[in-house]
């Protein structure tokens, strides 16, 4: 995956749950902000801010996604949650250690973010999407009061 190119959203990444798809798109936009910032050589503070933003949006997204999977008794929920926690830990550690990195590490961070999100959506999220499509509680989970 080229680290200089923006991460593009395509319909093949749709989970078909509007709020989750919108959150995925927002995360892609933040990653693209990081890529854009890496081209203009901004301050380390800007990169730390973007990594914090990814952590915050990731946490909110994972919480909603995990509620959704739980409501459908998704059998791989525990494994999925573990991957979410590993991601949050990794991004938080990147942020904590950010000032120790040399500029070439931007490419490593971008590569990690792009690969993690693209692969996570294409494999793990698609797995729960396919499981839930056959779930009898799908209509309940899509009701507005479900996540209240």
Tens digits of residue pLDDT in 25-69: 999 999 999 898 888 876 777 888 888 899 999 999 999 999 999
Distance separating alpha carbons of residues 90 and 104, to the nearest angstrom: 18
CA distance 48 to 70: 32
Q: Say how far apart CA 95 and CA 23 lie, in whole Å.
A: 21
Q: What is the CATH number of domain 19-34+44-147?
A: 1.20.120.50
**80-112 pLDDT per residue, tens:** 999 999 999 999 888 877 666 554 477 888 999
Decide: 51 and 98 in contact? Cβ < 8 Å: yes
């Amino acid at each position: 995956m080229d680290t200089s190119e923006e991460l593009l959203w395509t319909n093949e990444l749709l989970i078909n749950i509007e709020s989750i798809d919108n959150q995925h798109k927002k995360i892609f936009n933040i990653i693209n902000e990081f890529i854009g910032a890496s081209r203009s050589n901004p301050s380390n503070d800007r990169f730390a801010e973007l990594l914090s933003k990814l952590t915050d949006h990731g946490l909110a997204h994972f919480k909603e996604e995990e509620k959704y999977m739980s409501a459908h008794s998704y059998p791989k929920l525990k494994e999925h949650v573990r991957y979410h926690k590993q991601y949050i830990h990794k991004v938080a550690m990147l942020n904590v250690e950010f000032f120790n990195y040399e500029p070439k590490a931007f490419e490593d961070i971008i590569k990690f973010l792009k690969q993690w999100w693209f692969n996570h959506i294409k494999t793990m999220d698609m797995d729960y999407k396919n499981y839930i499509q056959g779930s009898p509680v799908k209509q309940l989970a899509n009701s507005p009061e479900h996540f209240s």
